């Protein structure tokens, strides 16, 4: 716990056996109360390794549900465990768990209800090996999203994020995609519900075992992101309210 808030870490995993232990060992267990790992039908021994490491809440999908589908299971289980703050951490060691304390403290002390680990604040992205085309796409998409959504985030595409549980009582993540655009839809929902989002500068690591989507899927993701921003603007103008923006 931190400031009386129960903290849970969710690990959406797919073929993460090569990096899971390294990620797990950097988690600050002095403040973390619960850890949930959801194995999205990995082809390696991710689930078995998670149990061997001592992770009590290991869920395995028998069929691959996708990145968004994995997170839906993650958050449902974390809320079932009645945690106050949920941290979504990739078990591929691309983001360091050493920042968990800094990230959750912002929520635990009621500064922001949502916090992102940003690779763009500072020089973490390119220094950590982000491909140049992904960096350029990140900057273009983020600028477009900030204009359409009226916000000032440094990036919308980080996979390192933490939420107060109250967020989930207002937004409907089940309406979101099961693919990678889930993350962006969730941020749109959070802004639409009237919440603010804080950011913490975060180094990142790109290496062979770190998860990454190929160019073709990156293009699909980029188009999906733009679609979310347009839907957000239309919903704010009360022209068309997409199901993802229907609040609970």
| pLDDT tens-place string over residues 146-186 | 999 999 999 999 999 999 999 999 999 999 999 999 999 99
3-state secondary structure of 122: coil
Beta bridge partners of 162: 87, 115
Beta bridge partners of 204: 95
Q: Which two tokens stand for residue 51?
A: 């149990």
| Predicted confidence (pLDDT) per residue in 2-48, tens digit | 999 999 999 999 999 999 999 999 999 999 999 999 999 999 999 99
pTM summary value = 0.94
Helix axes 132-149, 215-236, angle to 10 degrees: 10
What is the domain partition of the chain in residue ranges? 7-245
Mean pLDDT of the chain: 94
In angstroms, rounded to a whole number, what is the distance separating the alpha carbons of residues 19 and 94?
A: 9
CB distance 165 to 205 below 8 Å: no
| Predicted confidence (pLDDT) per residue in 48-63, tens digit | 999 999 999 999 999 9
Identify the pLDDT of residue 207.
60
CA 171 from centroid of its chain's CA atoms:
15
**CATH classification code of 7-245:** 3.90.550.10
3-state secondary structure 178-244: CCCCHHHHHHHHHHHCCCCEEEEECCECCCCCCCCCCHHHHHHHHHHHHHHHHHHHHHHCCCCCCHH
Instruction: Give the residue among 189, 126, 184, 179 at the shortest CA–CA distance from 155.
Output: 184
DSSP character string of 41-109: S-SSSHHHHHHHHT-SEEEE-SS--HHHHHHHHHHHHHHHTT-SEEEE--TTSSB-GGGHHHHHHHHHT
Flag whether pLDDT at 125 surpasses 80.
no
């Amino acid at each position: 716990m931190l400031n009386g808030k129960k903290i849970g870490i969710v690990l959406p995993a797919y073929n993460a056996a090569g990096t899971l232990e390294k990620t797990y060992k950097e988690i600050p267990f002095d403040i973390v109360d619960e850890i949930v790992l959801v194995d999205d039908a990995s082809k390696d021994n991710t689930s078995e390794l998670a149990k061997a490491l001592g992770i009590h809440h290991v869920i395995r999908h028998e069929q691959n549900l996708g990145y968004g589908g994995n997170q839906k299971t993650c958050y449902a289980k974390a809320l079932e465990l009645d945690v106050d703050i949920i941290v979504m951490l990739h078990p591929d060691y691309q983001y360091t768990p050493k920042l968990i304390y800094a990230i959750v403290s912002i929520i635990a002390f009621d500064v922001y209800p949502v916090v992102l680990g940003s690779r763009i604040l500072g020089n973490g992205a390119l220094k950590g090996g982000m491909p140049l085309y992904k960096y350029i796409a990140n900057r273009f998409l983020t600028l477009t999203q900030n204009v359409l959504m009226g916000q000032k985030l440094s990036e919308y595409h980080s996979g390192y994020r933490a939420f107060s549980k109250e967020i989930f009582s207002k937004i409907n993540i089940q309406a979101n995609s099961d693919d990678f655009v889930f993350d962006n839809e969730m941020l749109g929902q959070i802004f639409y519900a009237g919440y603010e989002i804080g950011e913490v500068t975060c180094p990142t690591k790109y290496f062979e075992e770190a998860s990454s989507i190929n160019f073709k899927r990156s293009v699909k993701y980029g188009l999906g992101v733009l679609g979310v921003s347009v839907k957000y603007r239309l919903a704010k103008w009360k022209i068309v309210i997409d199901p993802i923006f229907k609040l609970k």
